[in-house]
Amino acid sequence: MSKYWEVLSANNITSERLASYERKITTEPWHKPEAIPDFENYLAILKRMHSSDDLNLLIGEAKGHVGGDTHSLMHDLQANFKDHDCVRQMDRALALRSNLCQHHYDRHNAQKLKDVCFLDLALEAYVRKLSEKIMHIDIGFDNYVREVAIILNNLCLSYQWEELKYCRDDWAVLVQTLAKNLNEDNARKVKSVIDRLKQLLAEVNEVIENALQSKAEMMGTAFKCDDFAVKLFSEEVLRGTLFFSLSMILKKIDPHVRKCAHLGDWLIISAGRSHGSRGYVENVPKLYDVMHKTYEQRTILLVDKITGEEEVPSNVQAIILLNSSDYPDVLAHVSVRARNLKVLLAVLFDDRQCQDLKNLLGKHLVLKAENNMITIQE
């Protein structure tokens, strides 16, 4: 109890303050383990009444509609909620989702369809949650390859997108085989699949933008929503899906594959205008510091740091991130904005070329993306 009062006191909470609340707190806490089951039962009742995405609840609802094989997959998932291997648990969720989608979407039984559909949605969200749980942990190249395969299979269950299925098949047949022996030739083949996936993600972004953004702006204006919420609506929808998890993992895989494939010094995130992006060269330490600036003349920005959350400054036609191991993924906010505005966004990894570009400060350049590299013309 002394520790309890020590922590409260350190945060300026006294017994007098607790007693002054509308609902007074005048009793010290005490240990009452026998009450735990009653509170857990009460929580289950609350969830049954109000929750639409509690996984245990939804599994319980769907169990009455499915057979023994599906029951086994459900039990396996529930028994391993605390498994430290998130990728392995993602695999279990995928196995259950696949079973539900293949055998239990019964259009002639409305109650079964509803229960199975809600469980399927919750499983998709659970896979995303597991992926985000380990997103900032280095789980190793082999596990990243395995995780991408699981996410692609989940996305194919959720979206009827032909290109997505082709990419999933490429990953299963080509990448998961060649990744075990990543020599230069194999790495180049793997890189081709990664590039195809990045093109797919850019297409997904464009489709969701076209489908949602104009409606969001019309409704958001009518609701008098904050401008930033309206402006970012479709982008935030996309960032709440497994596509964003896929984008983040590809970002982790890409440098290793590029190194093994001995690829060029450029990574192009947004290709910019087809006829080239032009402007006067300026250098800034952080894109964040100038993102709201309006440049008087067309500008090419050389940047030392980009977090991914920045806006593209007005009148900037190209942004070059100089030799950074921390660069934005293809679905980061700045990447999406750059593509939508036709602004060139690229990372340059070679120190000598970075210095050559810095030596051109104040010069007028034309940059053009061609064959995974940038041509520079003064």
Yes or no: say if 119 and 126 are a contact pair by the CB < 8 Å rule. Answer: no
The rounded mean pLDDT for the chain is 91
Instruction: Supply 235's token pair.
Output: 């982008």
Answer for the pair 193, 167: CB distance below 8 angstroms, yes or no.
yes
pLDDT at 68: 87
**What pLDDT score does 51 carry?**
63
Residues serving a catalytic function are 333
CA 325 → CA 63, 266, 305, distances in Å? 47, 12, 10
d(CA 346, CA 354) in angstroms, rounded, equals 12
Domain boundaries, the chain: 2-30, 168-261, 266-377
Nearest of 99, 133, 105, 129 to residue 118 by alpha carbon: 105
Going by CATH, does the domain composed of 266-377 fall within 2.30.40.10?
A: no
Q: Judge if pTM exceeds 0.85.
A: no
pLDDT tens digits, one per residue of 98-147 = 999 999 988 888 989 999 999 999 999 999 999 999 998 999 999 999 99
Residue at 83: amino acid letter: D
- pLDDT per residue over 37-65, tens digit each? 999 999 888 877 776 568 888 898 899 89
The encoded tokens of residue 313 equal 């400054």
Q: Are 269 and 342 in contact (CB under 8 A)?
A: no
Distance CA 90, CA 297 (A): 50
